């Protein structure tokens, strides 16, 4: 099969690798679509925190946003069948510790993260093997293009659920990338009043096209919000999050900063703030996928750029593209 590997900082190549084989309990999938995100760029550039602390090493095969078709299953697999259109969980726990058996396998001390942590080969390849428990069948009406959007949407949905906005709440979402757009759209579905803060005028215009209220960050002034969702990963944003917080604010952190984001603990206490730091969306995968079935056109508009596997090294080197007025997500068509 053909696969993309990051071999050293700022070096990625597409090469032939042996086809993976499904062992007992495993599912073999032919990838149809995959997405690129900031984590993949950070792995390529060598700035991903896991590389700094030695939890991940190069070379690695990235890719954790994907959809594909089951082509074979190993012995004992009962929930996946060849032909199924599926996506999957980035987080794979040991399957038997307290955390794995209580629905918190993303916190398993031995967990792996597909294409990110633990040298588990990711989805930027023609074929992928995953344990059955990490494979999720897509509902009717959700095709592979949309299926590869489920992973980022599940992270945003979890952030929205943890901060629990409602019709009386004002919500501020920082960032109009994929995570920010999904957070804003899911928050708006609760009846809350949602504002998206984005620096670039074209990004604000894009969010406004979905009926969302937008602000240039410099125009926020002393506006106050009950829920604040950080989806930029910028330390500058994190440091100023509380400038626009009500007392009792609920905050979700979705964007991964490359270093210490410097949340001011004294102000957090003064605001009686609740901060949810969101490590993935494992618990929200099926719900995100079933919501997609009710909003397929909305989700499709977030896909802005579609490339081939051979174009990925150049895109990683250049940074993820975002044309004016186009959606934030870059996908790979197989």
Smallest gap from Cβ 329 to Zn ion, in A, equals 10
User: Is the CB of 97 or the CB of 326 nearer to Zn ion?
Assistant: 97
Smallest gap from Cβ 288 to Zn ion, in A, equals 13
List interacting residues with Zn ion (CB under 5 A). 37, 39, 93-94, 97, 100, 108
Smallest gap from Cβ 99 to Zn ion, in A, equals 5
C-alpha angle with apex 238: 265 to 117, nearest 5 degrees?
Answer: 100
The distance between the two most distant Cα atoms of the chain, rounded to a whole number of Å, is 60
Q: Which residues sit opposite 60 in a β-bridge?
A: 6
In a 3-state reduction of DSSP, which class is residue 282? Answer: helix
DSSP 8-state class, residue 76: T
Smallest gap from Cβ 323 to Zn ion, in A, equals 20
User: Is the CB of 182 or the CB of 225 nearer to Zn ion?
Assistant: 182
Decide: 53 and 99 in contact? Cβ < 8 Å.
Answer: no
**Residue whose C-alpha is closest to residue 115's, from 70, 58, 77, 68:** 58
Smallest gap from Cβ 129 to Zn ion, in A, equals 19
**Residue whose C-alpha is closest to residue 277's, from 134, 158, 117:** 158
Helix, strand and coil content of the chain, in percent to the nearest 5, comes to 30, 30, 40
As a whole number of angstroms, the distance between CA 264 and CA 241 comes to 9
User: Is the CB of 214 or the CB of 330 nearer to Zn ion?
Assistant: 330
Smallest gap from Cβ 38 to Zn ion, in A, equals 7
User: Is the CB of 20 or the CB of 38 nearer to Zn ion?
Assistant: 38
Map 283-307 to HEC letters.
HHHHHHHHHHCCCHHHHHCCEEEEE
User: Is the CB of 249 or the CB of 332 nearer to Zn ion?
Assistant: 332
Beta strands 135-137 and 85-88 are: antiparallel
Map 249-265 to HEC letters.
EEEEECCCCCCCCCCCH
User: Is the CB of 242 or the CB of 320 nearer to Zn ion?
Assistant: 320
User: Is the CB of 108 or the CB of 241 nearer to Zn ion?
Assistant: 108
Smallest gap from Cβ 76 to Zn ion, in A, equals 19
């Amino acid at each position: 099969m053909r696969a993309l590997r990051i071999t050293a900082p700022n070096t990625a190549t597409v090469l032939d690798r042996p086809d993976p084989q499904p062992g007992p309990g495993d599912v073999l999938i032919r990838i149809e679509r995959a997405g690129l995100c900031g984590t993949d760029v950070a792995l390529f550039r060598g700035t991903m925190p896991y590389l700094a602390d030695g939890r991940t090493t190069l070379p690695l095969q990235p890719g954790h946003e994907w959809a594909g078709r089951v082509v074979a299953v190993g012995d004992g697999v009962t929930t996946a069948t060849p032909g199924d259109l599926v996506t999957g969980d980035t987080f794979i726990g040991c399957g038997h510790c307290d955390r794995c058996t209580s629905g918190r396998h993303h916190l398993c001390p031995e967990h792996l993260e597909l294409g990110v942590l633990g040298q588990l080969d990711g989805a930027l390849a023609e074929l992928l093997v995953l344990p059955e428990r990490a494979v999720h069948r897509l509902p009717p009406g959700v095709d592979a293009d949309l299926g590869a959007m489920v992973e980022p949407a599940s992270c945003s949905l979890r952030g929205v659920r943890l901060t629990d906005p409602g019709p009386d709440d004002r919500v501020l979402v920082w960032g109009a990338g994929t995570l920010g757009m999904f957070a804003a759209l899911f928050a708006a579905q609760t009846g809350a009043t949602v504002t998206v803060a984005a620096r670039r005028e074209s990004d604000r215009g894009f969010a406004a096209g979905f009926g969302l209220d937008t602000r240039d960050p410099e125009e926020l002034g002393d506006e106050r919000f009950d829920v604040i969702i950080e989806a930029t990963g910028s330390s500058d944003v994190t440091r100023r999050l509380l400038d626009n917080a009500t007392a009792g604010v609920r905050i979700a952190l979705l964007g991964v900063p490359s270093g210490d984001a410097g949340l001011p603990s004294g102000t957090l206490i003064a605001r009686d703030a609740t901060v949810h730091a969101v490590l993935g969306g494992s618990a929200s995968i099926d719900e995100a996928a079933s919501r997609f079935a009710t909003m397929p056109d909305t989700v499709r508009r977030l896909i802005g750029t579609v490339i081939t596997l051979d174009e990925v090294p150049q895109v990683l080197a250049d940074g993820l593209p975002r044309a004016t007025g186009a959606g934030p997500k870059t996908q790979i068509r197989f």
